[in-house]
Amino acid sequence: MTALFDGFPLGDLALPNRVVMAPMTRVRAAAGGLATPSMATYYAQRATAGLIVSEGVQPNLVGQSNPGTPGLHTDEQVASWRQVTAAVHTNGGRIFAQLMHGGRVSHPSTTGEQPVGPSALPAVGDVFTPNGPRPAPIPRALTTDEVPEQAQSYALAARRAVDAGFDGVELHGANGYLISQFLSSNANARTDRYGGSVANRIRFAVEAVSATVEAVGAARTGIRLSPGATFWGVRETEVPQLYAALLAELARLDLAYVHVEATADEEVLLGLRRGWPGTLIMNPTLPMGPKQVERADADHWLGLGAELISFGRAFIANPDLVERLRLGLPIAPVDDAAYYQGGDEGYLTYPAYQHTA
């Protein structure tokens, strides 16, 4: 049986193990969406992961969802990320940038711009702003001619990511953000070629991924998906058919991987595993749910055919998570109050396991 600590070839990369650090928003960027020296330390501390996927990085200004998040749409942002990628590589690691366009999950007080989405329908709930939580605003519906520009924003950011030293990119197609909004049957009320039928609702995702592959190559391109998830009020009908159709189109592109969250029943997820011929990264528990990913969850999904397993919150308090999993050491608890508070406390202050004589 495949073991969590077996090596794995991912595109041009040789992963030393099958542990992936999942993308997690940490809102520690400097003004202007710049990466910082603390971010370089944070990711370098976790470089023993087979692959790190960064926090969500906005591909353009209107795509910024939360305050304090980094970007990849200016030269200054590219330059700031080089310290991060260099630190990870110096420590022997590999890192992809997650490209996250928030779509309607944003606020004018964060970006200075009205959010955009497939339709003029607001997200459900309060969004984060510089002035605290605020009700999600009504986005401006993209015109048919504007949609390709937003799809291309992922490709432009991917080029910048490679220039910044990232080994590749992961498009955030999950959790109610822009790609997920187009896949949705309630956030997307369009009647043009981007809405309505399954074939139309997957079109934006396919165009965004295709443009990224053309920009940086298939071996450097992955996508994250959350089948059937309801984050930010997004809902999907025909989930098995929707994702089977999407994966069939993506399979033509020979991507580095598809990264799937456990947001649907295992039977549905296994159907997607059978329908996806390439590398599958599985995140075995519900994101931000009550349970963190454990070694048993990883082994279970490796046995079901996933090639790689992503761990999220466990990596926050355990920079040496790979070693703890390998040796069966205790997993330290995380202080969830420090997730988004800024600063180095609860960010760089978690130690490696202290062995006693």
Would 43 be classed as within a structural domain? yes
Tokens of 28: 């520690």
What CATH number is associated with residue 276? 3.20.20.70
- Within 10 A of 138 (CB to CB), how many other CB atoms are there? 15
Amino acid at 269: L
CA distances from 159 to 215, 235, 280 (A): 6, 32, 24
pLDDT in tens, 7-53: 999 999 999 999 999 999 999 999 999 999 999 999 999 999 999 99
- pLDDT value of residue 31: 97
Residues 6+ apart with CB under 8 A from 356: none
C-alpha closest to that of 262 among 253, 273, 274, 250: 273
Q: Annotated catalytic sites, by residue?
A: 177
* Strand bridging mode 95-99 / 51-57: parallel
pLDDT at 173 over 90: yes
pLDDT in tens, 95-117: 999 999 999 999 999 999 999 99
Mean local confidence (pLDDT), 268-283: 97
- pLDDT value of residue 2: 76
Mean local confidence (pLDDT), 58-76: 98
> What band does 268 get if pLDDT is binned at 50, 70 and 90?
very high
- pLDDT value of residue 286: 77
Would 355 be classed as within a structural domain? no
Total domains, the chain: 1
pLDDT in tens, 206-225: 999 999 999 999 999 999 99
Would 2 be classed as within a structural domain? no
Would 356 be classed as within a structural domain? no
Q: What share of the chain is helix, strand, coil (3-state, %, to 5)?
A: 35, 15, 50
pLDDT in tens, 231-253: 999 999 999 999 999 999 999 99
pLDDT at 353 over 60: yes
- pLDDT value of residue 285: 83
pLDDT at 190 over 70: yes
Would 353 be classed as within a structural domain? no
Tokens of 321: 């998570």
Give me the percent of the chain exceeding a pLDDT of 90.
Answer: 94
pLDDT at 298 over 70: yes
Would 167 be classed as within a structural domain? yes
Tokens of 219: 């071996």
Mean local confidence (pLDDT), 315-323: 97
- pLDDT value of residue 1: 60
pLDDT at 357 over 60: no
Measured distance CA(186)–CA(197) in Å, rounded = 12
Would 344 be classed as within a structural domain? no
Model confidence, pTM: 0.97
User: Which helix (H) or strand (E) covers residue 228, if one does?
Assistant: none
- Indicate the average pLDDT of the chain: 96
Would 33 be classed as within a structural domain? yes
Q: Which range marks the domain in which residue 80 is found? A: 8-338
- pLDDT value of residue 218: 98
- pLDDT value of residue 287: 78
